[in-house]
Structure 1
């Protein structure tokens, strides 16, 4: 099979729901980043074979194609949208890699776009057996027989209870995430991978003043809840991120140098009622399939939708703290569902550069109990 390389990529600054991007549809966020990716990496549009984008809460209708056309891409370039909820962008990147590995493509842009601020409200058809009189809902059904706006919070709460994860353990990760993200922002470490949209200049979710005192004041998110709070669960977000994948032939013919080699991508199902566990399952799956041990991984980026994910990951792979989410995680930067996989891959590549590392791993726990993971290898220049 053909080797797959990653030239790099870009992401928007991440906005909170009803924040700086509150009037910007997901396709426009995606279009802005796609346009800048082509410009920044000087991509010949006639060489682009495919665009694959993730999206979780949009209105459907192949939003990636809409974003590409909105960005002014040639009509001949096909685009497709994938929905693996929180794992959508990682799955899009793995799908892009598979096209290149198989020889079906030489240059693919992959990632995702999301807007919680303008996500459509839905209601069931009167023909649906669960029709409830036209009640509006925003959260899809992920588990047979289980539906509700609180389903993700309930799953995280149940995971923390069953796995005996204390609020105090999770608080530690909350503080770490905001502290590290604030320091990364202060040092401008991620500025060269970010795109300003409509004058945006920073990620909205980072709280440099996050403290234990503030954490203690924030409420539990479920009635009678004892674990999941407004501090250890991420907010809802808007943003976009895309990376450029290519074949060795494209590198040779264009005289380019890649940042990383895509080594492997996989996904695995887990308990749909306790989806936070699936990040660990995805990590174990990709290690087993590639023959690596976790001690060989120089940098981990794990989507931190809930701090319980951090606790479980560190328990499963002891001693990785100095290699894990070194810039902070989604509790600070944000978790724009269908974008997050591409965003953490960009952060991972920066971590490998910073640490002069060789192997890096991304993992996402997705709604419905599916874990997605990618392994990349830094290209020595």
Structure 2
């Protein structure tokens, strides 16, 4: 059976301790799950499996947060639920895994999703325990932290602090222009939150956008002493959730749903331990080889802006036209709730293909051990 994406949506992304801070992770993910069902009018009883992602399954995100959110949202208990951690590509990997289950005939209707409340459960909760702790005497893994890896990528590609700052400014400007022209509206599931006065407000927009300039960015101190990346050229600590509805194509049409896209090819690779986050380059090469496509065939690129050097390195190596790379900005401006970002990128890619009447998009998300890349075809 051919798996298709019927819809993909997300909550707005909030800053650390910002607009979404009063929402529990389970509530936020359940809101995204219910939101996609409401947008499509699908009977929840038809959803056979939900695969969700969370990079730091601790505290309020502990355990099978996908199942907890589904049940808390009052959705059918018969639906199976699985939670995975594939680092920053988690939601995209959840989507690919679900598509694989549909392709093998195990599922007709399913949902992929992801959440990260980084205000409540920082990634440092997991990092702070120490990789592999307690470590065996034979421990031999040597891997840099993400900031060191990102700076190494920049140095390796000859990217200067000014180059990175210019990219950070570009992300903010493009994201602001996209919001001003309503290009994110269609993917947003609004969230009602408690405000500072005990009342309520509806959040409909990402909180991370900032008015800035090259002069302001130049004044920011590097995150690492002697480094190149700053808070202005790194993805933001964010809160958010996302969800996508997938079906077997025949089943979708039987139920009256128009398929929007399908996954043409997908790959997951580990990152070089020296540079850590440069994996999208190799992942893209693998996907292109498998599909017989070339970079010139791709109409739109979403390369996650974990750090400015990551999409810049990708574009330099693969010769990606500047206007096709993250044309609506990215995680530097919009935020990066790690478990949810993958579907945010997928939703943006699908909508841009539809808006431009284009055919193929590539989504790539760096991670130290699970870099994810996939190609989407608009249907």
TM-score calculated relative to the size of structure 1: 0.90
Aligned partner of 2:196 in structure 1 is none
CA distance in 2, matches of 1:252, 1:349: 19
Determine helix, strand or coil for the equivalent of 1:182: helix
Structure-2 residue corresponding to 1:41:
40
Q: Could you tell me which residue of structure 2 aligns to residue 137 of structure 1? A: none
1:353 aligns with 354
Cα RMSD after superposing both structures: 2.0
CA distance in 2, matches of 1:360, 1:305: 19
* Aligned counterparts of 1:319 and 1:52: Cα–Cα separation in 2: 32
Partner of 1:332: 333
TM-superposed CA distance for 1:303, in Å, is 0.6
Answer yes or no: is the 8 Å Cα contact 1:54–1:112 preserved in 2: yes
Check if 1:170 corresponds to 2:169.
no
Q: Which residues in structure 2 correspond to 1:255-266 (within 5 Å)?
A: 255-266=256-267
Asked whether the equivalents of residues 142 and 273 of structure 2 are also in contact (C-alpha less than 8 Å), the reply is no
1:64-86 Cα distance to aligned partner (Å, 9 max, x none): 11111111111110111110110
Q: CA deviation at 1:318?
A: 1.8
- Find the counterpart in structure 2 of residue 289 from structure 1: 290
Q: Comparing 33-42 with 250-259, which one deviates more in the overlay?
A: 250-259
Q: Distance in 2 between matches of 1:347 and 1:317?
A: 21
Quick check: 2:234–2:332 contact (8 Å CA) kept in 1?
yes
Of residues 72, 96, 111, the one that matches 1:94 is 96
- Distance change >3 Å, CA 159–CA 105, structure 1 → 2: same
1:139 is aligned to: none
Matched, 1:202 2:229: no
CA contact (8 A) 1:262 1:377 kept: yes
Q: Is the 8 A contact 1:326 1:351 kept in 2?
A: no
What secondary structure sits across from 1:195 in the alignment?
coil
**1:188-226 deviation digits (Å, cap 9, x = unpaired):** 11112101212213111112x22101111111101232x
Kept in 2, the 8 Å contact 1:300–1:323? The answer is yes
Per the TM alignment, residue 279 of structure 1 is displaced from its structure 2 partner at its CA by 1.4
Say whether residues 1:80 and 2:82 are aligned partners: yes
Structure 1 window deviating more from structure 2 (264-273 vs 350-359): it is 264-273
1:221 alignment counterpart: 223
Higher mean alpha-carbon deviation, 227-236 vs 99-108, is at: 227-236
Conserved in 2, the CA contact under 8 Å of 1:173 and 1:310?
Answer: no
CA drift of 1:356 comes to 1.0
Q: CA deviation at 1:146?
A: 5.2
* CA offset digits 1:356-380 (Å, max 9, x no partner): 10011100001x243201111111x
**Local SS of the residue matching 1:353:** helix
Tell me, yes or no, if structure 1 residue 377 matches structure 2 residue 377.
Answer: yes
Partner of 1:252: 253
Q: 1:136 maps to what in 2?
A: none
User: Residue 270 of structure 2 corresponds to which residue in structure 1?
Assistant: 269
Q: Higher mean Cα deviation, 180-189 or 276-285?
A: 276-285
SS in 1 for 2:221: coil
For each residue in 1:141-178, what CA deviation from the matched residue of structure 2 results, as whole angstroms up to 9, or x when unmatched?
xx93558xxx2112212222233221122122111111
Deviation at 1:124, TM superposition (A): 5.4
Could you tell me how far apart the structure 2 residues matched to 1:48 and 1:117 are? 30
1:186 to 168, 174, 180: 180
Residues 106 and 249 in structure 1, CA contact (< 8 A), matched pair in contact too: no
Instruction: Judge conservation of contact 1:23–1:118 (CA < 8 Å) in 2.
Output: no
- Distance in 2, matches of 1:272 and 1:250, equals 43
Q: Is the 8 A contact 1:232 1:306 kept in 2?
A: yes
Deviation of the 1:98 alpha carbon: 0.2
Q: Residue 143 of structure 2 contacts residue 274 of structure 2 at CA under 8 Å; is this kept in 1? A: no
2:109 aligned to which of 107, 110, 118: 107
Give the C-alpha shift of residue 23 in structure 1: 2.9
Deviation for aligned residue 1:129: 4.0
Other structure's SS at 1:275 match: coil
Q: How many residues align?
A: 360
8 Å CA contact 1:276–1:308 kept in 2: the answer is no
**Displacement of 1:319 after TM fit?**
4.4
1:71 is matched with 73
Contact kept in structure 1, 2:283 and 2:372, CA below 8 Å: yes
Shift of 1:317: 2.2
Could you tell me how far apart the structure 2 residues matched to 1:178 and 1:218 are? 16
1:103–1:95 distance in 2 versus 1, CA, 3 Å: same
Deviation at 1:298, TM superposition (A): 0.7
Measured in 2, the distance between the counterparts of 1:111 and 1:82 equals 10
